[in-house]
Amino acid sequence: MAGAKTTTAIAGPMARIDDKAGRVKGRSTTARFMQLSTVFRKTKQLILNDALNNTNIKKRLLVIVKAFPGRKILVIGDIVADEYIFGITSRISREAPVAILRYDSTVIQPGCAANAINNIHSLSGHVIPIGVVGEDETGKKLLAVMGKGEIVSDTILVEAGLTTPVKTRIMAGGHNTTKQQMIRIDRDNRGNLPKKVEKRLAAIFIKSAKVADAIIISDYGLGTITPYIRRAINNFAKGSKTPVIVDSRYDMLKYKNITAATPNTEEMEWATGVILSDKNIVETGKKVLTKLNSKALLITRGKDGMLLLQKGKKEFKLGICGKDEVADVTGAGDTVISTFTMSLAAGATMEEATRIANYAGSVVVMKSGTATANMDEIRGAINSDHL
């Protein structure tokens, strides 16, 4: 038919020739298809690269954990007995609106620095514990349960004039229910450490620090780490390559030249007077890093994971590992600093040590009471994580 437009199909169903215009239509669609194919291939390669990278990270972390046994870790600080008194709820008292508990049992577990000591032992490290307990029944029981009696405690002083610090938790519940903490009672020796004991502890620290692979300062503000002992720690840290890691409840900024500090959010806010948020935590942390003259600052943030800050490096953030539902956070900070320090002693980078500490923390918060994590549990957490 005169003047009619005809088309001729060419290779590919999307393309055709316009006889009048002489143009190939549909080329833009084909180009888009080819572009999407390229993106798909690149995305697939990135996924494969990430999987390979994650596999390599896991292998590296497992190598570090394997190197834990035998590492000499010195722990100095407040050795405390965590006492749990369990009772069965029976009725409400007529004397006051409180529950009456029928006594069931008492358990003593290592707390504060003693828990860090226990964690190092649980991780197959060789622990050098330094601290003081009272010459009392609680002190005897505490030393007996530390490491299930396997920890050599010659460097822990037993003093007749002191009482062993105790945190007593009253745990209540029914016969077949999980016991819940009702109240806590603290007894301590804050500010009562005699000068002769102070000097002996400092001397033991200076001597023992020379043979340690790494050092943990577990300062809960209960009087063991006096200004005199802190000066000895700071002086050692200044002239030594041995990692010195500090966990201090109230006096973090009084430490200098250390390798790292491991505060939680509350301790950071106490030290800086700043209410932390996602917007200001990095800037605030960098200021603390400068004041400490420290290589790193590891902030534990509960459900928000961990934040590692280092001099001259970009911040390193980790989300929580495993479930965000926890059984008990008691002593989790002790597990974190213990595993972090063991990892550094085993040759880990700060980032690797943070990852392993995060795994250990995820293990211990699923346990009731003051608890520890062991090598097998950490390996299991690493292997089961998808990074």
The residues annotated as belonging to the active site are 334
- Contact (CB, 8 A) for 262 and 298: yes
3-state helix, strand, coil in the chain (%, to 5): 40, 25, 35
Which residues pair with residue 130 across a beta bridge? 76
Helix or strand (DSSP H, E) at 128: strand 126-134
Burial of 271 (0-12, 13-18, 19+ CB in 10 A): buried
d(CA 164, CA 108): 12
Helices (H), 210-300: 227-238, 265-272, 281-292
The count of other CB atoms within 10 Å of the CB of residue 259 is 21
- Contact (CB, 8 A) for 177 and 145: no
